[in-house]
Amino acid sequence: MPESAKKIPRRSLKDALLLMARDDGSPVLAHGLPLDVAQTLLPQRLETNVLASLHDAGGDPNDLTHQKWGIVAPEGPLGDELLGHIRPLLRAREAEQQENALIYRVPPRMSTVQARAWGRQILLHRSHPQGPPRYLLLLGDLDQVPLELQLALNSECYVGRLAFPAGSGYAAYAAKVLHWERRVQRPAARMLFFTAHDATPATRLSYRELMAPTLQQCIEDHARGSFQAKEIIEVGDHSNWGCGPLLRQAAVPIPSTLLTLSHGIGAPRRGGWSSDEEQRRRQGSMSLGTESLEASHVEKRRFLPGGFWFNVSCFGAGTPSQSSYFPWLKRLQEEKLFNEPLETVLESLARKEPFVCALPQSVLANPEGPLAVIGHVDLAWTLAYCEKYGGHPSHFANALRLVMSGCRVGLAIHVLGRAAANLYADLGARLQEIEQARAWNLPPPAFPSLHLLWMTCNDLSGYVLLGDPAVQLPLRAPKAKPRTSRPPRQRKP
């Protein structure tokens, strides 16, 4: 483990928030969330976005001829238009799977219950001999194809989304993917780790719990030959980090996977966002101390060409219209149960229409940008990788390992979706035992930290994939070892 991680005191908070105010560059909840306050959030009933496992397609998960690839598009003319923009990519996937792609149409709004019902209906529909497509590409922003549907499908399918403000973004992305799939491939990609060492409790804790152990694990696995990488680089350190070192490494013209850890930009403390347009343009940008990394900085700059970006921060992929945390935070504010101001958090969550973050949109539409991005669509806490409350850094390391080995990126988000589903099942079972004890007038079983387990479930399930889930790093398949020819054994007389 890097020496810098060992120096962080263990008394650090276990529930810090990776969100920075836009105007003054200070963490929105500077001292994190006290555990006694968090106990007020556990719902009486468990509502989950994840589906129970309904089928197993079998076969190689990377083989589209077995797993199939399909599209979920908006209803009406908008869906027709978006399908037209990605027609070359659609045709390429159909040729790869040797079968026409199924195209589903959905309304712009669904509740969690409706999304799960739709997903169950599709997953049970035997459209192919092997089952429905496991790779699903959603077309359109979060107010065009519901976010609830993507979150529900993450645990069962390999799901990605394309969302751009203009049709040219869809066409540019499709052209970029086909360009890299036709290029001469490399034997291995670079693995980059970047942390915004801004000395806040959230980033200090996250470096210790996520970045340092993941980096160390990848280095050890690489030495053993179980982690494929051209090189493993930690970009910057506690004394020398920022936008400059990050952009220089991201500009290297070699396919790379990048794991970043930072605060995401939220609403300004004074006056909030001036308009919906400003919030769409800036919320979810990376906070880098006295500077930030925004969409305008990377829309024309070489940034991870042919690579993959895993961004750990608040709103790094988008902002929902109905955050799981909003009702609870609103209650904390109204009942004065928390002594820190919550206006900035609530202002960041206050949305009539959800949207995909402009930063990943910009790099995905950039011909010299990555092929896919994983980020968060809500408040990102530190619980997803804190082992004490059900999270674990291995979920993130396993996702990186799959991508770096040349697997399709949909498998990486599926790792997080399945982890969230398992935690939801655990939480549901505990709540059911409590309810049964009450029904029989028995003492309820003691399950400490149920509220934090609920937060961990929500934190993990908030990560989504932006991009075609079927893309892969442009890596050359390893050569098969030649078989040694041996003469037949002579039978003894």
| 107-116 residue pLDDT tens | 998 888 888 8
Dump the DSSP string for 314-337. Answer: TTSSEE-SS-TTHHHHHHHHHTT-
Please tell me the distance from the alpha carbon of residue 161 to that of residue 356, in angstroms, as a whole number.
Answer: 10
Position 478 pLDDT exceeds 90: no
Q: What average pLDDT does range 248-252 have in this prediction?
A: 97
Position 42 pLDDT exceeds 80: no
Residue 125 pLDDT: 64
User: Which has more pLDDT, 59 or 139?
Assistant: 139
Q: Which of 211, 169, 218 lies closest to 194 in space, CA to CA? A: 211
Q: What average pLDDT does range 410-437 have in this prediction?
A: 91
Q: Which of 319, 191, 325, 310 lies closest to 262 in space, CA to CA? A: 310
Please tell me the distance from the alpha carbon of residue 240 to that of residue 50, in angstroms, as a whole number.
Answer: 41
Residue 482 pLDDT: 41
Residue 178 pLDDT: 97
Q: Which residues contact 91 (CB under 8 A, 6 or more apart)?
A: none
Report the chain's terminal Cα–Cα distance, integer Å: 61
Residue 2 pLDDT: 55
Q: What is the pLDDT of residues 259-292, one digit of tens each?
A: 999 999 999 998 889 999 999 999 999 999 889 9
Out of 23-37, 142-156, 385-399, 478-492, least confident range? 478-492
Confidence label for 56 from pLDDT (cuts 50, 70 and 90):
low
For residue 419 the two structure tokens come to: 């982890």
Position 348 pLDDT exceeds 80: yes
Q: What average pLDDT does range 94-107 have in this prediction?
A: 94
Q: Which of 452, 400, 465 lies closest to 423 in space, CA to CA? A: 452
Average pLDDT, the chain: 87
Q: What average pLDDT does range 377-395 have in this prediction?
A: 91
Residue 328 pLDDT: 82
Q: What is the pLDDT of residues 213-233, one digit of tens each?
A: 999 999 999 999 999 999 999
Residue 78 pLDDT: 97
Out of 212-221, 292-301, 362-371, 453-462, least confident range? 453-462
Q: Above pLDDT 70, what percent of the chain?
A: 86
Residue 453 pLDDT: 87
Confidence label for 490 from pLDDT (cuts 50, 70 and 90):
very low
Q: Which of 362, 350, 385 lies closest to 459 in space, CA to CA? A: 385
Position 484 pLDDT exceeds 60: no
Position 293 pLDDT exceeds 70: yes
Q: What is the pLDDT of residues 70-95, one digit of tens each?
A: 999 999 999 999 999 999 999 999 99
Q: What average pLDDT does range 325-341 have in this prediction?
A: 82
Position 393 pLDDT exceeds 50: yes
3-state secondary structure of 372: strand
**Inter-CA distances, 485 with 173, 248, 482, Å:** 47, 49, 9
Residue 1 pLDDT: 55
Residue 39 pLDDT: 63
